[in-house]
Amino acid sequence: MPLALVLIKNNLDLVVQGSVDMRQNLGHVLVNRALADAELRGGRSNRGAMLDDVMGERDATLPVGYFVHDSIFPLARLLCLRFTQAYARVRANIRAARQIPAVTLKGSTMMDETCTTPATPDLFEGMTAISAVLDPAIRAFNDRTVRTVFIDRARAEKKAREIAFLRHRAEELGFDLQMVRSEDLDALTSGKTHGGIVAVCSDRTIPTLDEGMDSIRPDGFYVLLDGIEDPYNFGYTVRSLYAAGADGVILPPRNWMGVAGLVARSSAGTSEKMPIWISEPAGAVAKLREKGYRAAAAEIRDSVDLYEADLTHPLLLVIGGEKRGISRAVLDECDLRVRIGYHGDFRGSLSSAASAAVLAFEVMRQNNK
């Protein structure tokens, strides 16, 4: 059951002081109100598919006759209305992602066509992120490809230069360009900051550090991110590291590809241009130290000031997340700990992205002398 449905059901349990059967019926109301609303628009034959999409259940067994009396349960009625509205928005996004009426540009020919996207596409919004995926310089370490590019038909005239570039790359790489309505593009994306251009891309293979050890430079600058969980913060961090000249990023195991489009947008495309490996953090530190690297951890306790530390290459910089920080096992593997000095009586800490920027640019300064 979706989290939103669970929360609403719990609220109803607090308000309705009735039998167990009544509370169960009210829980069913939430789904049936949404289904009844959707059936008026999409037909009763789609009921099973709707339940499958929203609840992950193939059989629709809930009765349709439940209702909430206006005078007895006004809060429950309001919650049902809110759930129905949220459900409608979810359905709109699902329909837009699966089937978008479009006009396809293939060479110089324009043809009416229906675009069908993959079941779980990686959506990259905006030319900055899409251009990063199309950059031939990343092919040595990034196997992500563009499958289809959607362009807002209403902005086509203003985007003539971008469309010309995309058409040229489409002819080289074999992906489609499709002109779509503004509302369809907005429904497909998480917001309206896409600039009128969105790409559906393939997954990217993230190798393990063991698989990538041969590509580690003997005098490089690499960064281990231990505990950064928010995709926006991760994207901002990668952008700063890329700008400061980091040669690659090492991440702990997790499903980073589920938010690849969001990370690419927040990192201004640099997450696609950055070599990335997966490794257990403590093991990564040990492996790079075996190759002659010193490991410096960003840590307050038992540390030296950033501007007094030797951060020359080869260097592995370890940065922790804002909630958990760097684990004890990783700290024990590091050669030194460095801190960022703050002004006055400030007792807080910078965000991971801000800390990464300060630390990485000091590394760049020391190695550009």
Domain extents in the chain: 3-98, 100-201, 209-367
pLDDT at 323: 74
CB atoms within 10 A of CB 104: 16
Equal fold, 100-201 vs 209-367: no
CATH architecture of 209-367: 3-Layer(aba) Sandwich (3.40)
Whether the CB-CB separation of 262 and 232 falls below 8 Å is answered with yes
pLDDT at 339: 95
Q: Within the chain, which residues score under 50 in pLDDT?
A: 1-73, 87, 90-120
pLDDT tens profile 35-65: 444 444 444 334 334 433 433 333 333 333 3
pLDDT at 229: 81
Q: In the chain, what are the helix, strand and coil shares in percent, each to the nearest 5?
A: 50, 20, 35
The CATH class given to the 100-201 domain equals: alpha beta
Q: What is the DSSP string of 226-283?
A: ES---HHHHHHHHHHHHHTT--EEEE-SS-GGGGHHHHHHHTTTHHHHS-EEE--HHH
pLDDT at 313: 97
